[in-house]
C-alpha cells in the first residue's frame, strides 16, 4: 500500500518492525534459556536433596547398628538408593534432566523410608537392651533373695532337727566310767 507521501508502509516503519522482530526473537530465546536454566536448577536441587537424605539414612543405619539392631535389609535398600543416585547423576551429566529428577526422587523416597525404619529399629534395639538390663537385675535380685531365704530356711530346719536329735540322746554310761 502506498501512502500519500509516496513511500510504502514498510519503508516508513521498516526499522520499527525489524527492531520489534529482533526483540521478539531475543525474548523467546531468553525465555527458552530461562526454562533450561530452571530445569537444571530443579535437577541440581533434586540431586542435592537425594544426596543429603541418602547420607542421613546411612548415618541412621549406622546408629541403629551400633545399638545392636539387625540392619541387613536396610543396607540392601541403601545399596539400591545409592545405585539410583549414581544413575541420576549420570543422567544429569548427559543432559537427561527429566530422568535425573525421576531417579533422584525415587532415591529420595527410598532413603527417607530407610532412615525412618533405621530410627525405629534403633529405638526398638535400645528398648530391648533396657528391658534385658532390667530383666537381668530383677532376675539377680530374685535369685539372691531365693538363695538367702533358702539358706535361712534350710538352716532353721537343720537346727531344729539337730536340736531334736541332741535332746533325744541319752548319755550312755559305760561300765568303765562307773567304777
By mean pLDDT, which of 18-27, 111-120, 123-132 is the weakest?
A: 18-27
Helices (H), strands (E): how many in the chain? 3, 0
Instruction: For the chain, list the domains and their CATH numbers.
Output: 9-141 (1.20.140)
In sequence order, the β-bridge partners of residue 8 are 2
The pLDDT, as a whole number, for residue 163 is 80
* Backbone dihedral angles phi then psi of residue 8, each to the nearest 5 degrees: -80, 170
Residue 2 DSSP one-character state: B
Higher pLDDT, 16 or 78: 78
Is residue 26 predicted with pLDDT exceeding 60?
no
Distance CA 160, CA 109 (A): 75
Is residue 179 predicted with pLDDT exceeding 80?
no
The pLDDT, as a whole number, for residue 167 is 76
pLDDT > 70 in the chain, percent: 74
- Work out the mean pLDDT of the chain and round it to a whole number: 82
String of DSSP letters for 58-83: HHHHHHHHHHT---HHHHHHHHHHHH
Q: What would the grid cell of residue 97 be?
A: 534432566
Distance CA 115, CA 48 (A): 17
Q: Which of 119, 110, 140, 23 is nearest to 65 (CA)?
A: 119
Q: Which of 47, 131, 56 is nearest to 86 (CA)?
A: 47
Is residue 5 predicted with pLDDT exceeding 60?
no
Element (H, E) at 129: helix 97-168
pLDDT tens track for 31-68: 444 444 457 888 899 999 999 999 999 999 999 999 98
pLDDT tens track for 136-176: 999 999 999 999 999 999 999 888 888 888 777 777 766 66
* pTM recorded for the entire structure: 0.60
pLDDT tens track for 11-20: 556 666 656 6
By mean pLDDT, which of 6-15, 75-84, 121-130, 146-155 is the weakest?
A: 6-15
Half-sphere exposure of 27 (CA within 13 A, CB side): 6
Amino acid at each position: 500500500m502506498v501512502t500519500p507521501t509516496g513511500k510504502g508502509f514498510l519503508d516508513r516503519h521498516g526499522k520499527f518492525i525489524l527492531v520489534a522482530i529482533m526483540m521478539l526473537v531475543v525474548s523467546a530465546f531468553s525465555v527458552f534459556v530461562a526454562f533450561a536454566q530452571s530445569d537444571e536448577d530443579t535437577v541440581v536441587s533434586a540431586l542435592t536433596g537425594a544426596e543429603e537424605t541418602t547420607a542421613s539414612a546411612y548415618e541412621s543405619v549406622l546408629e541403629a547398628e551400633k545399638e545392636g539392631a539387625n540392619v541387613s535389609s536396610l543396607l540392601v535398600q541403601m545399596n539400591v538408593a545409592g545405585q539410583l543416585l549414581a544413575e541420576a547423576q549420570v543422567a544429569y551429566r548427559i543432559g537427561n534432566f527429566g530422568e535425573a529428577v525421576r531417579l533422584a526422587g525415587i532415591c529420595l523416597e527410598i532413603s527417607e523410608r530407610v532412615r525412618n525404619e533405621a530410627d525405629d529399629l534403633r529405638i526398638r534395639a535400645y528398648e530391648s537392651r533396657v528391658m534385658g538390663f532390667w530383666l537381668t537385675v530383677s532376675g539377680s535380685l530374685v535369685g539372691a533373695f531365693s538363695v538367702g531365704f533358702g539358706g535361712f530356711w534350710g538352716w532353721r530346719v537343720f537346727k531344729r532337727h539337730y536340736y531334736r536329735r541332741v535332746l533325744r540322746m541319752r548319755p550312755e554310761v559305760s561300765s568303765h566310767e562307773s567304777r
